[in-house]
Amino acid sequence: MMDEPLAIEAVELVEVALPLVRPFRTSFGEEQEKRAILIRVDGGDVQGWGECVAPEEPRYSEEWLDGSRLSLRNFLVPALLSGGPLSNPTQVGVRLAWVRGHRIAKAGLEAAVFDAWLRLRGKNLSEHLGGVRTRVVCGVSVGIAPSIEAMLDEISGYLQKGYRRVKLKIEPGRDVRVVEAVRQALPDVPLSVDANAAYSLADAPMFEALDELGLVMIEQPLHHEDLVDHARLQARIRTPICLDESIRSARDATAAIELGSCKIINIKPGRVGGLVEAVRVHDAALRDKIPVWIGGMLETGVGRAANLALAALPGVSMPGDTSASDRYFHQDLTPPFVLAPDGTMAVPGGPGIGVEPLAERLQSCTVRTETILRRTVM
């Protein structure tokens, strides 16, 4: 039935670990393997999957994997289940709103509800959210490498595969010199940098040097919660600043745009607390003609599918960090997402997020599970 509500019987938290094809290094740390909590919403006749993208340590933001598991188990899942059947996934955010923060955990749970609720209706996530295309343009994020030669090698591999924009991670001591070398070797490639909040306004001269290198954008140069200093820096450089960490809601996005803190926004559903809020950020940016693109958190296929659904929205006008599965994993948990030679990837069609974890892959990557039943909270 078209308007049948989703009655959730149980929520399962499935923690997984996947080896990465190569370590991923940023200004805040290095990952050797990818851990995530997959969230399975059991709706009786249907189930839905979402991914909680919190990293193992609270270096990107204050959220981390073990903390997310506790916030889900102790507060978020009980709050969701105590409200009865859901007539619309927009109710998830309302039920969870009394819990302050914990956006990454909330986003994973909301995504799983979307998947189950849409499967009940045979409807596709991207279409439901307002997606306007079936293929999206992809970029790639390159970790800090031990040497410039190693970095150029890695980049040329990505360019051969078709990626349309290369994002270099920078940190103090590995910035202008590295970016200059890459720019010299690849004069025409759309290049950006991401500092993951590693600098302060006192580093403005370094950013003025980067400003000469024809970058598409400079992502999150300053403090992870700052808007004001970013506005001051943006006033000094022509290269657009893109905010990632500093934008945690549509409210933040509106403030950043009004202050002139950025000219581009990276949207990650985890960082802003879910798909509903991600669409609100998108809408706020589109209203003010601020280009947006969809970021990445080294998602497995479950989270990647939802990101691709968002990337089809009309205001998404730049290549995303929505790279192929093989950028991160030898084997994904879902059938692999593959980059076409033209640098595009298909938005999954079909009900819900369009993909499901493969049972035997899931089993071999699972490190622990926990089930929260509806009756335990009644």
Binding positions for ligand NPQ, rule: CB under 6 A:
24, 26, 31, 55, 60, 141, 194, 196, 244, 295-298, 321
Q: What is the three-class DSSP state of 45?
A: coil
Which of Mg ion, ligand NPQ, none sits in contact with 12, Cβ below 5 to 8 A by type? none
Examine the residue annotation and report whether 268 is marked as an active-site residue of this protein.
yes
Q: How far is the CB of 244 from ligand NPQ (least distance, A)?
A: 5
29-43 sheet: strands from edge to edge: 46-52, 29-43, 10-26, 366-373
- Report the residue number, 121 or 223, with the smaller CB distance to Mg ion: 223
Interface with Mg ion (CB under 5 A): 194, 219, 244
Tell how far CA 292 is from the center of its chain.
Answer: 13
Q: What angle do CA 267, 269, 270 make, to 5 degrees?
A: 120
- Which of the following is catalytic: 161, 167, 169, 263? 169
Which of Mg ion, ligand NPQ, none sits in contact with 273, Cβ below 5 to 8 A by type? none
Examine the residue annotation and report whether 161 is marked as an active-site residue of this protein.
no
Say which DSSP state 124 is in: B
Q: What angle do CA 95, 275, 79 make, to 5 degrees?
A: 20
Q: How far is the CB of 100 from ligand NPQ (least distance, A)?
A: 22
- Report the residue number, 93 or 221, with the smaller CB distance to ligand NPQ: 221
- Cα end-to-end span (Å), the chain: 27
Q: How far is the CB of 161 from ligand NPQ (least distance, A)?
A: 16
- Report the residue number, 24 or 49, with the smaller CB distance to ligand NPQ: 24
Neighbours of 364 (CB within 10 A): 12
- Which of the following is catalytic: 34, 106, 263, 268? 268
**C-alpha distance from residue 322 to each of 84, 205, 311 (Å):** 35, 32, 8
Q: How far is the CB of 320 from Mg ion (least distance, A)?
A: 12
Residues with catalytic function:
169, 268
